[in-house]
Structure 1
Amino acid sequence: MDLVKGPSSRPDLQVSVLLVDQSFSPTTLITSENFRALCTCNKGICRNRKPLQYKGTIFHRVNPRSLFKGGDLAKGNGLGGESIYGDSFADENFVNKHIGPRIFFKANTGLDTNDSQFFICNVKTEWLDGTNVIFGQVVEGFDIIKAVEKVGSISGLTSKSVTVSNCGQLS
Protein backbone atom coordinates (compact mmCIF):
# COMPACT_ATOMS: atom_id res chain seq x y z
CA MET A 1 0.00 0.00 0.00
CA ASP A 2 1.33 3.41 -0.97
CA LEU A 3 0.19 6.87 -0.05
CA VAL A 4 0.52 9.40 -2.84
CA LYS A 5 -0.52 12.99 -3.18
CA GLY A 6 -3.76 13.14 -5.15
CA PRO A 7 -5.18 16.00 -7.20
CA SER A 8 -6.90 17.38 -4.10
CA SER A 9 -5.25 18.39 -0.86
CA ARG A 10 -5.83 14.90 0.56
CA PRO A 11 -3.39 12.09 -0.26
CA ASP A 12 -4.83 9.02 -1.95
CA LEU A 13 -4.90 5.60 -0.32
CA GLN A 14 -3.80 2.98 -2.82
CA VAL A 15 -4.43 -0.66 -2.01
CA SER A 16 -3.74 -3.84 -3.90
CA VAL A 17 -6.26 -6.68 -4.25
CA LEU A 18 -9.75 -7.24 -2.92
CA LEU A 19 -11.58 -10.31 -4.20
CA VAL A 20 -15.35 -10.52 -4.15
CA ASP A 21 -17.11 -13.85 -4.34
CA GLN A 22 -20.55 -13.45 -5.85
CA SER A 23 -21.72 -16.63 -4.17
CA PHE A 24 -25.15 -15.09 -3.72
CA SER A 25 -25.50 -14.55 -7.48
CA PRO A 26 -27.86 -17.51 -8.14
CA THR A 27 -30.50 -15.64 -6.12
CA THR A 28 -29.53 -12.15 -7.34
CA LEU A 29 -28.64 -12.54 -11.01
CA ILE A 30 -29.63 -9.00 -12.05
CA THR A 31 -27.79 -7.32 -9.17
CA SER A 32 -24.71 -9.50 -9.61
CA GLU A 33 -24.58 -8.80 -13.35
CA ASN A 34 -24.81 -5.06 -12.70
CA PHE A 35 -21.83 -5.25 -10.32
CA ARG A 36 -19.81 -7.52 -12.63
CA ALA A 37 -20.42 -5.32 -15.67
CA LEU A 38 -19.44 -2.16 -13.77
CA CYS A 39 -16.22 -3.91 -12.68
CA THR A 40 -15.36 -5.03 -16.22
CA CYS A 41 -16.10 -1.63 -17.76
CA ASN A 42 -17.88 -2.88 -20.87
CA LYS A 43 -21.32 -1.25 -20.82
CA GLY A 44 -20.88 2.22 -22.32
CA ILE A 45 -20.96 5.68 -20.75
CA CYS A 46 -22.93 7.49 -18.04
CA ARG A 47 -25.15 10.51 -18.58
CA ASN A 48 -22.20 12.64 -17.42
CA ARG A 49 -20.14 11.17 -20.31
CA LYS A 50 -17.82 9.25 -17.98
CA PRO A 51 -17.35 5.50 -18.52
CA LEU A 52 -20.03 3.35 -16.90
CA GLN A 53 -17.53 1.65 -14.57
CA TYR A 54 -16.22 1.53 -11.02
CA LYS A 55 -12.62 2.27 -12.03
CA GLY A 56 -11.75 5.76 -10.82
CA THR A 57 -14.65 6.04 -8.38
CA ILE A 58 -14.17 6.70 -4.68
CA PHE A 59 -15.48 5.32 -1.43
CA HIS A 60 -17.31 8.46 -0.35
CA ARG A 61 -18.34 7.12 3.06
CA VAL A 62 -16.16 5.07 5.40
CA ASN A 63 -17.42 4.37 8.91
CA PRO A 64 -14.82 2.28 10.78
CA ARG A 65 -16.19 -0.90 12.34
CA SER A 66 -19.43 -0.40 10.42
CA LEU A 67 -19.80 0.27 6.65
CA PHE A 68 -18.01 1.51 3.54
CA LYS A 69 -20.04 3.03 0.72
CA GLY A 70 -18.87 3.49 -2.85
CA GLY A 71 -19.87 3.20 -6.46
CA ASP A 72 -21.32 6.64 -7.18
CA LEU A 73 -20.47 6.85 -10.89
CA ALA A 74 -22.40 10.05 -11.49
CA LYS A 75 -21.36 12.52 -8.79
CA GLY A 76 -18.80 10.79 -6.58
CA ASN A 77 -20.40 12.01 -3.35
CA GLY A 78 -23.19 9.51 -2.70
CA LEU A 79 -25.89 11.60 -4.37
CA GLY A 80 -25.75 9.93 -7.78
CA GLY A 81 -25.48 6.59 -9.46
CA GLU A 82 -26.46 4.67 -12.56
CA SER A 83 -26.89 1.03 -13.39
CA ILE A 84 -26.32 -0.91 -16.59
CA TYR A 85 -30.13 -1.06 -16.79
CA GLY A 86 -30.68 2.71 -16.66
CA ASP A 87 -31.04 5.02 -13.68
CA SER A 88 -32.08 2.27 -11.26
CA PHE A 89 -33.51 -1.23 -11.07
CA ALA A 90 -35.86 -3.18 -8.82
CA ASP A 91 -34.94 -5.20 -5.75
CA GLU A 92 -34.73 -8.86 -6.76
CA ASN A 93 -35.37 -10.33 -3.34
CA PHE A 94 -34.22 -10.25 0.26
CA VAL A 95 -33.49 -13.98 0.59
CA ASN A 96 -29.87 -13.45 1.65
CA LYS A 97 -29.27 -12.05 5.12
CA HIS A 98 -26.69 -9.67 6.58
CA ILE A 99 -25.07 -12.52 8.53
CA GLY A 100 -21.72 -10.94 9.32
CA PRO A 101 -18.88 -8.72 8.15
CA ARG A 102 -17.50 -8.44 4.62
CA ILE A 103 -20.90 -8.69 2.92
CA PHE A 104 -21.52 -6.68 -0.28
CA PHE A 105 -25.02 -5.24 -0.63
CA LYS A 106 -26.78 -2.58 -2.66
CA ALA A 107 -27.14 0.95 -1.39
CA ASN A 108 -30.53 2.45 -2.17
CA THR A 109 -32.86 5.31 -1.34
CA GLY A 110 -35.90 3.11 -0.86
CA LEU A 111 -37.72 0.22 -2.46
CA ASP A 112 -36.56 -0.63 -6.00
CA THR A 113 -33.93 2.14 -6.28
CA ASN A 114 -30.75 0.12 -6.86
CA ASP A 115 -28.06 1.69 -9.05
CA SER A 116 -24.25 1.52 -9.00
CA GLN A 117 -23.79 2.31 -5.31
CA PHE A 118 -22.96 -0.47 -2.86
CA PHE A 119 -21.90 -1.09 0.72
CA ILE A 120 -19.30 -3.37 2.26
CA CYS A 121 -20.12 -4.04 5.90
CA ASN A 122 -17.49 -4.64 8.56
CA VAL A 123 -19.94 -5.96 11.14
CA LYS A 124 -23.17 -7.93 11.20
CA THR A 125 -25.89 -5.58 9.91
CA GLU A 126 -29.05 -7.60 10.48
CA TRP A 127 -31.15 -4.42 10.86
CA LEU A 128 -30.80 -4.06 7.06
CA ASP A 129 -32.42 -7.43 6.31
CA GLY A 130 -35.38 -6.85 4.03
CA THR A 131 -34.19 -3.45 2.80
CA ASN A 132 -30.91 -3.99 0.90
CA VAL A 133 -30.14 -6.72 -1.66
CA ILE A 134 -27.07 -8.81 -0.78
CA PHE A 135 -25.04 -10.02 -3.76
CA GLY A 136 -21.53 -10.98 -2.61
CA GLN A 137 -18.88 -11.19 0.07
CA VAL A 138 -15.19 -10.39 0.43
CA VAL A 139 -13.16 -13.60 0.30
CA GLU A 140 -9.66 -12.16 0.12
CA GLY A 141 -8.13 -8.78 0.90
CA PHE A 142 -9.15 -8.34 4.52
CA ASP A 143 -5.98 -6.24 4.99
CA ILE A 144 -7.48 -3.74 2.55
CA ILE A 145 -10.60 -3.43 4.67
CA LYS A 146 -8.42 -2.69 7.71
CA ALA A 147 -6.40 -0.09 5.76
CA VAL A 148 -9.54 1.66 4.52
CA GLU A 149 -11.05 1.66 8.02
CA LYS A 150 -8.05 3.65 9.26
CA VAL A 151 -8.88 6.62 7.02
CA GLY A 152 -12.59 6.68 7.91
CA SER A 153 -14.42 8.52 10.68
CA ILE A 154 -17.64 8.33 12.67
CA SER A 155 -19.16 10.91 10.28
CA GLY A 156 -18.11 8.79 7.30
CA LEU A 157 -15.73 11.41 5.88
CA THR A 158 -12.27 10.13 4.96
CA SER A 159 -8.90 11.66 5.79
CA LYS A 160 -7.51 10.27 2.52
CA SER A 161 -9.24 9.70 -0.79
CA VAL A 162 -9.98 5.98 -1.26
CA THR A 163 -10.13 5.34 -5.01
CA VAL A 164 -10.84 2.23 -7.07
CA SER A 165 -7.67 2.27 -9.17
CA ASN A 166 -8.53 -0.84 -11.17
CA CYS A 167 -11.21 -3.50 -11.31
CA GLY A 168 -12.24 -6.45 -13.41
CA GLN A 169 -13.22 -10.10 -13.39
CA LEU A 170 -10.92 -13.04 -12.75
CA SER A 171 -11.39 -15.90 -15.18
Structure 2
Amino acid sequence: MRYSIVMLSILLLAIVAAGCGSKSKNDNALQQSQTASANGATAKQWSEMPEMTIDPKKSYTATFHTSQGDFKIELFAEEAPMTVNNFVFLAKQKFYEGITFHRIIETFMIQTGDPNGDGSGGPGYHIPDELGSDLKYEVGTVAMARTKAPDSGGSQFFICTGADSLNLNQTPDYAIFGKVIEGMDTVMAIAKSPVEMSSMGELSKPVDKITIDSIDIEEK
Protein backbone atom coordinates (compact mmCIF):
# COMPACT_ATOMS: atom_id res chain seq x y z
CA MET A 1 0.00 0.00 0.00
CA ARG A 2 1.36 3.40 -0.94
CA TYR A 3 2.09 5.94 1.72
CA SER A 4 -0.27 8.87 2.10
CA ILE A 5 0.98 12.43 1.63
CA VAL A 6 1.29 12.75 5.40
CA MET A 7 3.28 9.54 5.64
CA LEU A 8 5.47 10.58 2.72
CA SER A 9 6.29 13.82 4.50
CA ILE A 10 7.37 11.73 7.47
CA LEU A 11 9.54 9.62 5.18
CA LEU A 12 11.22 12.68 3.68
CA LEU A 13 11.97 13.94 7.16
CA ALA A 14 13.31 10.50 7.99
CA ILE A 15 15.96 10.80 5.27
CA VAL A 16 17.09 13.82 7.23
CA ALA A 17 16.74 12.36 10.71
CA ALA A 18 17.47 8.67 10.21
CA GLY A 19 19.41 9.11 6.99
CA CYS A 20 22.48 10.56 8.61
CA GLY A 21 21.44 10.57 12.24
CA SER A 22 20.71 13.49 14.47
CA LYS A 23 23.22 16.31 14.39
CA SER A 24 24.48 15.59 17.90
CA LYS A 25 24.99 11.88 17.23
CA ASN A 26 26.72 12.61 13.94
CA ASP A 27 28.98 15.19 15.54
CA ASN A 28 29.98 12.71 18.23
CA ALA A 29 30.81 10.07 15.64
CA LEU A 30 32.84 12.47 13.52
CA GLN A 31 34.92 13.69 16.43
CA GLN A 32 36.57 10.27 16.56
CA SER A 33 39.47 9.41 14.28
CA GLN A 34 38.03 5.95 13.79
CA THR A 35 34.63 4.40 14.35
CA ALA A 36 33.30 0.87 14.59
CA SER A 37 31.83 -0.30 11.30
CA ALA A 38 28.70 -2.35 10.80
CA ASN A 39 30.73 -5.56 10.43
CA GLY A 40 32.66 -4.99 13.64
CA ALA A 41 35.83 -3.72 11.93
CA THR A 42 37.27 -0.24 12.34
CA ALA A 43 36.14 2.19 9.63
CA LYS A 44 38.59 4.70 8.22
CA GLN A 45 38.00 8.36 9.03
CA TRP A 46 39.43 11.53 7.52
CA SER A 47 39.56 15.12 8.76
CA GLU A 48 38.58 16.70 5.43
CA MET A 49 37.01 15.84 2.11
CA PRO A 50 39.32 14.31 -0.55
CA GLU A 51 41.08 16.39 -3.17
CA MET A 52 39.68 16.23 -6.68
CA THR A 53 41.21 13.30 -8.54
CA ILE A 54 38.55 12.35 -11.10
CA ASP A 55 38.18 13.94 -14.52
CA PRO A 56 34.58 15.22 -14.90
CA LYS A 57 34.91 14.81 -18.66
CA LYS A 58 35.47 11.08 -18.35
CA SER A 59 32.82 8.45 -17.64
CA TYR A 60 32.75 6.40 -14.44
CA THR A 61 30.81 3.37 -13.33
CA ALA A 62 30.63 1.52 -10.02
CA THR A 63 29.86 -2.19 -9.88
CA PHE A 64 28.53 -3.27 -6.50
CA HIS A 65 29.03 -6.81 -5.26
CA THR A 66 26.59 -7.39 -2.40
CA SER A 67 25.38 -10.31 -0.33
CA GLN A 68 22.23 -10.24 -2.50
CA GLY A 69 23.95 -10.04 -5.88
CA ASP A 70 25.51 -7.44 -8.17
CA PHE A 71 24.37 -4.17 -9.70
CA LYS A 72 26.07 -1.38 -11.64
CA ILE A 73 25.74 2.38 -11.34
CA GLU A 74 26.62 5.04 -13.88
CA LEU A 75 28.21 7.95 -12.00
CA PHE A 76 27.34 11.49 -13.11
CA ALA A 77 30.81 13.03 -12.92
CA GLU A 78 29.95 16.05 -15.04
CA GLU A 79 26.78 16.99 -13.14
CA ALA A 80 28.09 16.22 -9.64
CA PRO A 81 31.91 16.15 -9.78
CA MET A 82 32.61 16.66 -6.05
CA THR A 83 30.06 14.05 -5.03
CA VAL A 84 31.33 11.49 -7.54
CA ASN A 85 34.94 12.25 -6.59
CA ASN A 86 34.04 11.63 -2.95
CA PHE A 87 32.26 8.36 -3.72
CA VAL A 88 35.12 7.11 -5.93
CA PHE A 89 37.63 8.01 -3.23
CA LEU A 90 35.73 6.11 -0.55
CA ALA A 91 35.16 3.12 -2.82
CA LYS A 92 38.85 2.90 -3.72
CA GLN A 93 39.73 3.16 -0.03
CA LYS A 94 37.44 0.13 0.54
CA PHE A 95 35.43 2.23 2.98
CA TYR A 96 32.14 0.62 1.91
CA GLU A 97 33.26 -3.00 2.22
CA GLY A 98 31.18 -4.77 4.85
CA ILE A 99 28.79 -1.85 5.30
CA THR A 100 25.11 -2.77 5.47
CA PHE A 101 21.95 -1.50 3.84
CA HIS A 102 20.61 -0.16 7.12
CA ARG A 103 17.34 1.38 5.97
CA ILE A 104 14.83 -0.07 3.50
CA ILE A 105 11.41 1.23 2.44
CA GLU A 106 10.34 -0.73 -0.64
CA THR A 107 8.14 1.95 -2.21
CA PHE A 108 10.72 4.64 -1.52
CA MET A 109 14.42 3.72 -1.36
CA ILE A 110 17.23 1.60 0.08
CA GLN A 111 19.97 3.35 2.04
CA THR A 112 23.57 2.45 2.86
CA GLY A 113 27.01 3.94 3.42
CA ASP A 114 27.00 4.21 7.22
CA PRO A 115 29.90 2.43 8.98
CA ASN A 116 27.87 2.46 12.21
CA GLY A 117 24.97 0.66 10.56
CA ASP A 118 22.32 2.76 12.25
CA GLY A 119 22.21 6.02 10.26
CA SER A 120 24.56 7.97 12.53
CA GLY A 121 27.95 7.51 10.87
CA GLY A 122 30.10 8.99 8.15
CA PRO A 123 33.68 9.32 6.88
CA GLY A 124 34.74 12.11 9.29
CA TYR A 125 33.97 15.06 7.02
CA HIS A 126 31.12 16.63 5.04
CA ILE A 127 30.85 17.55 1.36
CA PRO A 128 28.94 20.37 -0.35
CA ASP A 129 25.48 19.69 -1.79
CA GLU A 130 25.58 19.67 -5.59
CA LEU A 131 22.03 20.65 -6.49
CA GLY A 132 20.32 22.48 -9.33
CA SER A 133 20.94 20.07 -12.19
CA ASP A 134 18.22 18.77 -14.51
CA LEU A 135 18.53 15.29 -13.03
CA LYS A 136 15.35 13.83 -11.53
CA TYR A 137 14.56 11.39 -8.75
CA GLU A 138 13.12 8.23 -10.26
CA VAL A 139 13.45 4.49 -9.80
CA GLY A 140 17.17 3.71 -10.02
CA THR A 141 18.38 7.21 -9.09
CA VAL A 142 21.31 7.32 -6.67
CA ALA A 143 21.54 10.34 -4.35
CA MET A 144 23.33 11.48 -1.20
CA ALA A 145 21.66 11.33 2.18
CA ARG A 146 22.25 14.18 4.60
CA THR A 147 20.91 15.82 7.74
CA LYS A 148 18.52 18.77 7.58
CA ALA A 149 21.56 21.05 7.52
CA PRO A 150 22.87 21.98 4.05
CA ASP A 151 26.24 20.52 3.00
CA SER A 152 26.11 17.74 5.59
CA GLY A 153 26.50 14.69 3.36
CA GLY A 154 29.46 12.35 3.74
CA SER A 155 29.29 8.68 2.83
CA GLN A 156 25.62 7.71 3.10
CA PHE A 157 23.50 7.47 -0.02
CA PHE A 158 20.23 5.97 -1.18
CA ILE A 159 18.85 4.32 -4.30
CA CYS A 160 15.27 5.09 -5.30
CA THR A 161 13.15 1.96 -5.61
CA GLY A 162 9.51 3.04 -5.86
CA ALA A 163 6.89 5.59 -6.77
CA ASP A 164 7.19 7.45 -3.47
CA SER A 165 10.70 8.56 -4.42
CA LEU A 166 9.25 10.69 -7.22
CA ASN A 167 7.94 13.10 -4.61
CA LEU A 168 11.52 14.11 -3.85
CA ASN A 169 11.35 16.15 -7.05
CA GLN A 170 9.17 18.62 -5.15
CA THR A 171 12.00 19.30 -2.69
CA PRO A 172 15.22 18.27 -4.47
CA ASP A 173 17.54 18.58 -1.47
CA TYR A 174 19.65 15.48 -2.04
CA ALA A 175 22.51 15.54 -4.55
CA ILE A 176 21.91 13.08 -7.39
CA PHE A 177 25.17 11.50 -8.53
CA GLY A 178 24.28 8.33 -10.38
CA LYS A 179 21.75 5.84 -11.68
CA VAL A 180 21.51 2.07 -11.76
CA ILE A 181 22.16 0.80 -15.30
CA GLU A 182 22.49 -2.94 -14.64
CA GLY A 183 21.20 -5.30 -11.99
CA MET A 184 18.08 -3.40 -10.99
CA ASP A 185 16.61 -6.79 -10.10
CA THR A 186 19.22 -7.05 -7.35
CA VAL A 187 18.34 -3.57 -6.07
CA MET A 188 14.65 -4.46 -6.01
CA ALA A 189 15.38 -7.76 -4.25
CA ILE A 190 17.09 -5.75 -1.51
CA ALA A 191 14.10 -3.38 -1.43
CA LYS A 192 11.76 -6.33 -0.89
CA SER A 193 13.72 -7.60 2.12
CA PRO A 194 11.67 -8.03 5.32
CA VAL A 195 11.92 -5.11 7.74
CA GLU A 196 11.03 -4.36 11.34
CA MET A 197 10.64 -1.23 13.43
CA SER A 198 13.78 0.86 13.81
CA SER A 199 14.76 2.66 17.00
CA MET A 200 12.97 5.71 15.55
CA GLY A 201 9.71 3.83 15.19
CA GLU A 202 9.96 3.53 11.41
CA LEU A 203 9.24 0.24 9.63
CA SER A 204 12.57 0.24 7.78
CA LYS A 205 15.17 -1.78 9.69
CA PRO A 206 16.18 -4.89 7.71
CA VAL A 207 15.59 -8.16 9.53
CA ASP A 208 18.52 -9.77 7.70
CA LYS A 209 22.02 -8.36 7.33
CA ILE A 210 22.57 -7.20 3.75
CA THR A 211 26.09 -6.04 3.01
CA ILE A 212 28.23 -4.39 0.35
CA ASP A 213 31.07 -6.86 -0.18
CA SER A 214 33.09 -4.72 -2.62
CA ILE A 215 32.80 -1.99 -5.26
CA ASP A 216 34.71 -1.90 -8.55
CA ILE A 217 35.25 1.55 -10.11
CA GLU A 218 35.76 1.75 -13.88
CA GLU A 219 36.97 4.86 -15.69
CA LYS A 220 36.75 5.46 -19.44
Where do residues 114-129 of structure 1 align in structure 2 (5 Å cutoff)? 114-123=153-162, 124-128=165-169, 129=171
Where do residues 43-82 of structure 1 align in structure 2 (5 Å cutoff)? 53-73=95-115, 75-82=116-123
Identity across matched positions, percent? 26
| Cα offset, 1:34, TM superposition | 0.8
| Cα offset, 1:163, TM superposition | 0.4
Structure 2 letter corresponding to 1:78: G
Distance 1:127 1:95 in 2: 14
Where do residues 11-160 of structure 1 align in structure 2 (5 Å cutoff)? 14-22=67-75, 24-41=76-93, 53-73=95-115, 75-82=116-123, 86-109=124-147, 110-123=149-162, 124-128=165-169, 129-153=171-195, 155-160=203-208
Distance 1:119 1:59 in 2: 9
Distance 1:105 1:19 in 2: 15
How high is the TM-score relative to the length of structure 1? 0.76
Deviation >4 Å, runs of 4+: none
3-state DSSP class of the match of 1:166?
A: strand
- The 8 Å contact of residues 161 and 191 in structure 2, kept in 1 or not, is answered as no
| Cα offset, 1:99, TM superposition | 3.7
Give the greater-gyration-radius structure (CA): 2
3-state DSSP class of the match of 1:165?
A: strand
3-state DSSP class of the match of 1:125?
A: helix
How high is the TM-score relative to the length of structure 2? 0.60
3-state DSSP class of the match of 1:119?
A: strand
Distance 2:210 2:134 in 1: 28
Structure 2 runs not aligned, ≥5 long: 1-38, 40-65, 196-201
Q: Which has the higher helix share?
A: 2
Number of corresponding residues:
146
Q: Which has the higher strand share?
A: 2
